Amino acid sequence: MSKLKNQMRELITLFVMFIFIFPISQIYLSSAYAISIATGSKVGTYYQFGLDIARVAKDDGLDVIIKTSNGSIDNIKLMEIALADLGIVQSDVLGLLYKMKPKIADRLKYVFPLYKEEVHILARKEINSIEDLNGKKIATGSQSSGNWVTISNLLYWSIVPNVKKITNLNPVDALNALLAGEIDAMVYVAGKPVALFKRLEKIMQNPHYKKMLKEVHFIPLSIKETLKEKCNYYVASEIGPSDYAWVDRVTPTIAVSALLVNITTQKERYEKQLIKLAESVRKSLDNLKQNGHNKWKQVDLDAPIGEPWKLESCVLHQISTEALKQDLKELFK
């Protein structure tokens, strides 16, 4: 149990360190015609969503600068030091921030709820559950990523204390290391289908790589009672052949919400651009559902978000759903 406590202490300490180690500065200044969004890796869904948003905003005369990053924690940090205006962030990362630094978290407001991000744990075939990761090497993503927060949460509440976390591999390198047998598993939290895993379909024609893929699979995840009680950010989902053609069965997993957020203390620099971006996304939603990443089909811009998340005030006027208006009325009492 002491190892589990150390694991959670490590999670909290590094989380706080990575977000607040740098002072706020005006390094990046939005122009009158541009706004920036911190996303994630180029092989992830955040980045693809960013490109989709930039495409429709461009048609309305707004330039959107898409910034790559290490993920959710990195995106908060980039907004803190004014290197990005907006960021896409996992709800469990925001939840941890509310618990540890509520005054800082209160400055974060969501612009839109986006979609559910599936937890992909790709592992060697002999690993069949999260408990089987005990004593194994797993690529978790950097300590400035949402991947790292999510897997740390899941390992802690699943009572899996002896995991060697590999934090210095990007997603592509982690996948290569797994296929080469250098690590036992990798975690990637992103909306399916993820470009990284979709690309594996192309190498199935090569007998050598096909054999390597047969040695790995996605492991099942479920929402355990302890996790449900302590962390209400997770919902049930699944990964299957309809997402990735090289997968031969449907595997249950869990998912966490992705939100587009901003920091209110920086808002005066880009409020007009933010309003224009929100209007552009709302009016182009059908276009995005038809021509953007597959996850746009799940996006409901008026979906109510419960406590503690707060909606950005400058986009409140765009809310059209009466149910959401009532939800927000209760939220801002």
Write out pLDDT tens, residues 61-83.
999 999 999 888 889 889 888 89
What would the mean pLDDT of 151-168 be, rounded to a whole number?
Answer: 87
pLDDT at residue 101 above 80? no
pLDDT-based confidence at 2, cuts 50/70/90?
A: low
Asked if residue 236 lies in contact with residue 166, where contact means CB atoms within 8 angstroms, the answer is no
Q: Which residues contact 144 (CB under 8 A, 6 or more apart)?
A: 18, 69, 70, 71, 73, 74, 77
CA distance 157 to 161: 10
Helix (H) or strand (E) holding 293: none
Residue with tokens 């009532």: 326
**Residue type for position 288:** L
**Left (φ > 0), alpha (ψ -120 to 50) or beta: where does 159 sit?**
left
* Dihedrals phi, psi of 68, to nearest 5 degrees: -80, 160
pLDDT at residue 326 above 50? no
In order of start, what are the domains of the chain with their CATH numbers?
11-115+259-331 (3.40.190.10), 117-256 (3.40.190.10)
pLDDT of residue 84: 92
Helix (H) or strand (E) holding 8: helix 2-20
Of 295 and 202, the one with more pLDDT: 295
Residue with tokens 């005054």: 103
Q: Mean pLDDT of all residues in the chain?
A: 81
Q: Other CB atoms closer than 10 Å to residue 318's CB: what's the count?
A: 15
| 225-239, 252-266, 317-331: range with lowest mean pLDDT | 317-331
Residue 270 is encoded by which pair of tokens? 């880009």
Of 325 and 70, the one with more pLDDT: 70
Could you give the 3-state DSSP secondary structure of residue 29?
A: coil
What would the mean pLDDT of 286-301 be, rounded to a whole number?
Answer: 94
pLDDT of residue 5: 55
User: Could you tell me the pTM of the whole model?
Assistant: 0.76
HSE-CB of 171 using CA atoms within 13 angstroms: 25
The CA–CA distances, whole Å, from 216 to 30, 118, 221, 249 equal 45, 18, 16, 13
pLDDT-based confidence at 148, cuts 50/70/90?
A: confident
CA distance 294 to 49: 10
pLDDT-based confidence at 238, cuts 50/70/90?
A: very high
